[in-house]
């Protein structure tokens, strides 16, 4: 995020010194004279190296590494070497200093951390995405020293906090990357506060209107929430005081992102979100009694006062989460008939919940949870060391297991194995050994015969049945949810595919020889268009499966080619093929009814008024996605050079298909009123309406043609005013392609 170069003013130089002195004072783990001297030495080197360099915001660049170092020490709890590494983390990348220079002045540990944090340039082949390869390197280094990823997260957090100074396309790229990888990674490492802030900041740039609306709602409801928390807590406080506990009770609102995500997934409005906060009880344990027993004692006090909801008890003190999280969660019926979530933690548990594995270093003599992290890193390391794992596959599979909740299952001999929830019998088989997975044909779960795609539950005991005659099926990749199983299956078929492709390449060489031709880009292009192949490997594979004759080969060579992009993306050009204007990624691309060469992504079907991005297929072709579309987030993370921020304007020359979900109390008058609102009161055309009635309730979907998002919003508001209607929400149209 560096920008121009110019001399610093006297005020700016003083600002730099003030920020550095604040860092020194806040580094509570680094107050010895030796530590302070080492940090000062690192600052002096970094300050000199970044002299006259400025960020995009115009402020001195050195303020960024100082801020990263402060996050590392105050918000994550890291020590002197981490502060030094954070101060130096951009020196090697942006200046003439080398890792060897860092090693000579600060030692091997700091040099290795800085090296792990340094971006890569010109090392990998052109087919690999640079960001994906950078991330692979960070994870490789992480398996040797976790401080690399902690500092990387601190760096990303500060970049997100200062993202306003970046152009719109960079904001979308960085926030998509953050939501795709860094927020889940913070979650996996137990850095709850950082994960929450990263998600909220991503929402701010992806859906600014929704972000501001939810933030304002939380702010305006603060006094009401505070009053309720006091009312709820009073009887609990009286009991805890009587039992001589030292404690604090807080009521923390849910994050803006989690509220938005619940609205999106549950298809409910903000007014329908009731669990906007959770009560947290943090206590100082009696050192003479087990913490676990004290948690259950406080739970007993709470459930004596308020009736618990049995299906919402979460015991993470008997078996902590693999990211180290320990707590007891329960949901009880509070005053006014409102369900309230209560979290019970000791002071140690709370610090680990906020700071994750960084806090484990402080308490490691009291916990074995780090063993879970060691196992996770070991599995990641194995994936990375596999030469068949490419950067894109690694990113997808790595992310797959970051957010997964977990279950514990057992082997026939009673050994426990931790798997992500929703794991299947086949996941378990590959967890035992890849050869067991490859030859599995079924299993006995709790002594009952089941299929390979049977989903496992916590506590299941599994015996895998194998046969040497059994070989993997291509559908198996749809049966598994763990990265280990999916990678094993994919690699098996990659090997099979590679053999067929080699055979196809030999066959093509034979065809060329028979026709007295030599290989050329034109021949490859014609064959690729004919076989709808994205690259040479896919072409060779298809030729290996279907060994055409020399006559067929000559016919293909004589055929006029169609643009391969048309075939790959299942889209057609607009009637007027004038290209879109040349992309200027520093500012949004204006797309209106007169713009040609753009297509609507069928995965999310956005309409004018939605927050959107454009993905460039070719110089003349653009596909428009909603910014919250999973495909858009992935493209922004892995192929941002072809992504541009779009401002989509419509002048009612085009109509777009939108879908609404509606629910309410059934009566013939209600259905008539719904139809009347759509057809008579608004400028929309009804395409279809499907209503299903049962037990006096009607539910349905309405497809209408509208000109932009404002029409849908107005339609939702008018339908919501019908007294029988309980709620109306926008839905995403299914992709029919």
Element (H, E) at 726: strand 725-731
**Burial class of residue 553 in the structure, from the number of CB atoms within 10 Å of its CB (0-12 exposed, 13-18 middle, 19+ buried):** buried
Cα–Cα distances in Å, from 129 out to 569, 638, 640?
21, 7, 10
Q: Which residues, including other chains, have CB under 8 Å from residue 468's CB and lie 6 or more apart?
A: 439
The DSSP H or E segment spanning 345 is: strand 338-346
Pairing of strands 246-253, 406-410: unpaired
CA dihedral sign, ordered 533, 539, 545, 551: positive
How many CB atoms lie under 10 A from the CB of residue 416? 10
- How many angstroms separate the CA atoms of 354 and 465, rounded? 43
Angle in degrees, 0-180, between the axes of helices 147-161 and 80-88, rounded to the nearest 10: 50
Task: Compute and round to an integer the Cα radius of gyration of the chain.
Answer: 29
Burial class for 356, CB neighbours closer than 10 Å (0-12, 13-18, 19+): buried
Instruction: Reply yes or no on whether 93 is catalytic.
Output: yes
- The DSSP symbol for 129 reads -
What are 284-292's contacts with CB under 8 Å, separation 24+?
284/245, 284/246, 284/247, 284/346, 284/347, 285/346, 285/347, 285/348, 291/317, 291/346, 291/348, 291/349, 292/317, 292/318
**Closest among 83, 75, 89 to 161, alpha carbons compared:** 75
Catalytic one of 94, 264, 538, 639: 94
Kindly tell me the sign of the dihedral angle through the C-alpha atoms of 80, 85, 86, 87.
Answer: positive
Phi/psi at 343 (5° precision): -110, 130
Q: Give long-range contacts, CB 8 A cutoff, 24+ apart: 362-370.
A: 362/77, 367/320, 367/324, 369/320, 369/322, 369/324, 369/326, 370/324
Which residue in the list 93, 370, 714, 724 is annotated as catalytic?
93
Which regions of 156-315 does DSSP assign to beta strands (E)? Answer: 246-253, 277-284, 314-315
CA atoms within 13 A on the CB side of 485: 32
Q: How far apart are CA 383 and CA 385, in angstroms?
A: 6
Burial of 528 (0-12, 13-18, 19+ CB in 10 A): buried
Supply 502's token pair.
């080699």
Residue 720 Cα to chain centre, angstroms: 33
Q: Specify whether 94 is catalytic.
A: yes
Rounded to whole angstroms, what are the CA distances from 357 to 153, 167, 192? 13, 35, 11
Mapping DSSP to helix (H, G, I), strand (E, B) and coil, where does residue 244 land?
coil
Enzyme catalytic residues: 93-94
């Amino acid at each position: 995020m560096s920008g121009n170069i110019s001399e610093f003013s006297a005020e700016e130089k003083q600002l730099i010194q003030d920020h550095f002195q604040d860092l020194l004072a806040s580094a509570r783990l680094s107050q010895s004279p030796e530590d302070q001297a080492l940090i000062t030495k690192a600052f002096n080197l970094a300050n000199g190296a970044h002299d006259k360099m400025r960020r995009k915001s115009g402020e001195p660049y050195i303020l960024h590494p100082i801020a990263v170092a402060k996050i590392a020490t105050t918000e994550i709890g890291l020590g002197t070497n981490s502060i030094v590494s954070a101060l130096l983390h951009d020196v090697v990348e942006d200046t003439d200093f080398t890792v060897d220079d860092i090693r000579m002045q600060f030692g091997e540990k700091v040099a290795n951390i800085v090296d792990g944090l340094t971006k890569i340039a010109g090392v990998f082949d052109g087919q690999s995405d640079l960001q994906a390869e950078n991330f692979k390197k960070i994870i490789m280094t992480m398996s040797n020293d976790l401080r690399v990823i902690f500092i990387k997260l601190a760096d990303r957090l500060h970049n997100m906090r200062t993202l306003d100074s970046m152009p719109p396309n960079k904001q979308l790229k960085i926030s998509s990357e953050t939501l795709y990888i860094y927020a889940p990674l913070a979650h996996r490492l137990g850095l709850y506060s950082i994960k929450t802030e990263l998600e909220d900041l991503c929402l701010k740039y992806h859906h600014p209107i929704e972000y501001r609306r939810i933030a304002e709602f939380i702010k305006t409801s603060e006094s009401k929430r505070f009053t309720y928390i006091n009312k709820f807590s009073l009887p609990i406080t009286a009991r805890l005081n009587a039992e001589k506990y030292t404690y604090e009770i807080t009521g923390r609102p849910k994050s803006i992102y989690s509220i938005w995500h619940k609205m999106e997934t549950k298809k409910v409005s903000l007014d329908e979100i009731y669990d906007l906060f959770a009560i947290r009880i943090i206590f100082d344990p009696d050192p003479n009694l087990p913490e676990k027993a004290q948690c259950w004692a406080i739970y007993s006090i709470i459930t004596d006062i308020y009736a618990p909801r049995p299906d919402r008890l979460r015991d993470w003190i008997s078996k902590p989460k693999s990211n180290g999280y320990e707590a007891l969660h329960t949901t009880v019926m509070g005053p006014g008939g409102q369900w309230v979530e209560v979290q019970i933690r000791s002071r140690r548990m709370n610090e680990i919940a906020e700071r994750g594995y960084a806090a484990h270093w402080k308490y490691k003599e009291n916990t074995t949870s780090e063993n879970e992290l060691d196992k996770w890193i070991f599995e990641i390391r194995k994936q990375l060391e596999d030469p068949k794992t490419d950067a894109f596959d690694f990113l997808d599979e790595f992310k797959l297991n970051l957010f997964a909740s977990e279950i514990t299952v057992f082997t026939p001999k009673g050994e426990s194995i931790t798997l992500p929830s929703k794991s299947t019998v086949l996941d378990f088989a590959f967890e035992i050994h890849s050869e067991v997975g490859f030859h599995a044909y079924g299993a006995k779960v709790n002594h009952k015969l089941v299929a390979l795609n049977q989903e496992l539950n916590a506590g299941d005991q599994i015996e895998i049945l194998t046969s040497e005659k059994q070989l993997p099926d291509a559908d198996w990749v749809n049966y598994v949810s763990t990265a280990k199983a999916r990678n094993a299956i994919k690699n098996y078929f990659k090997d099979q595919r590679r053999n067929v492709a080699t055979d196809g390449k030999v066959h093509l060489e034979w065809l060329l020889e028979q026709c007295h031709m030599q290989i050329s880009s034109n021949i490859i292009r014609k064959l690729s268009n004919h076989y709808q192949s994205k690259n040479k490997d896919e072409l060779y594979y298809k030729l290996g499966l279907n060994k055409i004759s020399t006559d067929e080969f000559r016919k293909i060579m004589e055929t006029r080619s169609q643009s391969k992009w048309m075939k790959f993306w299942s889209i057609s050009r607009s009637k007027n093929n004038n290209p879109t204007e040349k992309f200027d990624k520093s500012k949004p691309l204006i797309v209106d009814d007169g713009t040609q060469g753009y297509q609507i992504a069928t995965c999310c079907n956005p309409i004018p008024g939605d927050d959107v991005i454009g993905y460039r297929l070719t110089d003349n072709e653009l596909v428009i996605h909603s910014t919250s579309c999973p495909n858009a987030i992935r493209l922004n993370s892995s192929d941002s050079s072809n992504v541009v921020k779009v401002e989509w304007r419509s002048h009612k020359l085009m109509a777009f298909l939108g879908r609404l979900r509606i629910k309410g109390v059934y009566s013939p008058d209600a259905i008539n009123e719904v139809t009347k609102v759509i057809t008579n009161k608004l400028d929309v055309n009804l395409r279809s309406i499907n209503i299903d009635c049962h037990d006096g309730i009607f539910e349905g979907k309405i497809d209408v043609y509208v000109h932009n998002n404002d029409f849908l919003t107005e339609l939702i508001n008018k339908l919501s005013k019908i007294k029988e209607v309980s709620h109306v929400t926008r839905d995403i149209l299914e992709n029919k392609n």
